[in-house]
Amino acid sequence: MRFAPLAAALLLSIPTAHAATTTTLPPVLPPPEMNSTPPEEATQASPIDRALAGDWRSEKNRARDAYRHPKQTLAFFGVDPANQTLLEIWPGGGWYAEVLAPAFQFGGGSYVAIVPKPEGDSQARSQANNDKLRAMFSARPDLYSHAQVRESPDAAPELGPPESADVVLTFRNAHNWVMAGNEQAMFQAFFKVLKPGGTLGVVDHRANPDQPPAEMKTSGYLPQAYVVALAEGAGFKLVESSEINANPKDTKDYKEGVWTLPPTLTLGEQDKAKYLAIGESDRMTLKFVKPQ
């Protein structure tokens, strides 16, 4: 009924010479703001997307997304910030922590950073990394107030109550445990802390299959078959491997090992352009499950 005056006015404005002509007026449509809008859920980004787009991430860290593929990697591991308890083992400087911890805060799940207890030859470095991570968490309670930090000794890892975690992730750390000789203890600890059916995700520098075994202690690269054997020896089953983080340009034959490549660039300016063109290392991405 509210459109009747408008229609009448339009009819009266027609010239009298055409009064006998039948005129069909266009239908009157409701204004645009009355059209239906999509549900809020359809316009909201996922917790992981929100974290990846966060303005707290530095440009330097964002630039590494091209090599570390965080969105695809976390999807491959089945990470769900709304419904899981996730342990990140040895987050180091916090590259993944600044994505995972906010995502789990947004989603309502639980994120726990497992850091090495400062001791022995690596005490100073471990303490510096742990202090940096805690400072990052305390500086932004809006992003990290729910994140937990647990220290664990290397030789006898203590990751949390048995069968308390849904997912355990570790990025570029297995080679460190091989170099230290505590790799079996770490994988056994992963198995103990995970719930039956829980997921272990491992990313690390991948050696050529014919790499001499001794080079595992010096190069930073590990044969994929060796890492699979470590996990299976602890009781895990390999679900799937992915080439998300592969880099066929990586020749893996550098005198200074994997640290020759970015982001470390151990050789400094020497052949820097060459190593930047190669990019970061070729990496295995392995998903294991703890049997039910």
Q: What is the pTM of this model?
A: 0.84
Q: Could you give phi then psi for residue 175, rounded to 5 degrees?
A: -65, -30
Q: Strands 110-116, 165-171: parallel, antiparallel or unpaired by DSSP? A: unpaired
Least confident of 9-13, 143-147, 242-246: 9-13
Q: Quick one: pLDDT at residue 4?
A: 40
Closest by Cα among 159, 162, 154, 152 to 192: 162
Encoded amino acid at 260, one letter: T
Q: Quick one: pLDDT at residue 12?
A: 37
Give yes or no for a contact between 282 and 258, defined as CB atoms under 8 angstroms apart: no
Give yes or no for a contact between 86 and 110, defined as CB atoms under 8 angstroms apart: yes
Q: Could you give phi then psi for residue 171, rounded to 5 degrees?
A: -120, 115
Residue 13 domain-assigned?
Answer: no
Question: How far apart, in Å, are the Cα atoms of 119 and each of 122, 175, 180?
Answer: 6, 19, 13
- In the block, tokens 């078959």 appear at 225
Given pLDDT bands bounded at 50, 70 and 90, which one contains residue 32?
A: very low
pLDDT above 80: residue 5:
no
CATH number assigned to the domain comprising residue 115: 3.40.50.150
Q: State the number of CA atoms in the 13 A half-sphere of 70 facing the CB.
A: 19
Q: Quick one: pLDDT at residue 178?
A: 97
Number of other residues whose CB lies within 10 A of the CB of residue 217: 12
Q: What is the pLDDT of residues 45-67, one digit of tens each?
A: 999 999 999 999 999 999 999 99
Residue 77 domain-assigned?
Answer: yes
pLDDT above 50: residue 16:
no
Residue 189 domain-assigned?
Answer: yes
Range of the structural domain that residue 117 is part of: 48-289
The per-residue b/e assignment along 188-197, b for 16 or more CB within 10 angstroms, e otherwise, is ebbbbbbbee
Residue 36 domain-assigned?
Answer: no
How far, in Å, CA of 102 to CA of 142, rounded? 8
Top-confidence residue, 3 or 120: 120
What are the tokens at 87?
């342990």
Residue 194: enclosing H or E segment and its boundaries? strand 194-205
Sequential DSSP letters for 11-47: HHTS-GGGTTS---PPPPPPPGGGS----HHHHSPPH
Q: What is the pLDDT of residues 126-178, one digit of tens each?
A: 999 999 999 999 999 999 999 999 999 988 999 999 999 999 999 999 999 99
Residue 285 domain-assigned?
Answer: yes
Residue 163 domain-assigned?
Answer: yes
Burial class of residue 239 (count of CB atoms within 10 Å of its CB; 0-12, 13-18, 19+): middle
Give the number of domains in the chain. 1
Q: Quick one: pLDDT at residue 164?
A: 98
Give yes or no for a contact between 206 and 222, defined as CB atoms under 8 angstroms apart: yes
Closest by Cα among 286, 256, 284 to 268: 256
Q: What is the mean pLDDT of residues 263-276?
A: 98
Residue 55 domain-assigned?
Answer: yes
How far, in Å, CA of 70 to CA of 46, rounded? 14
Question: Mean pLDDT in the chain?
Answer: 88
Q: What is the pLDDT of residues 224-242, one digit of tens each?
A: 999 999 999 999 999 999 9
Residue 26 domain-assigned?
Answer: no
- Category of 79 on φ-ψ map: left (φ > 0), alpha (ψ -120 to 50) or beta: beta
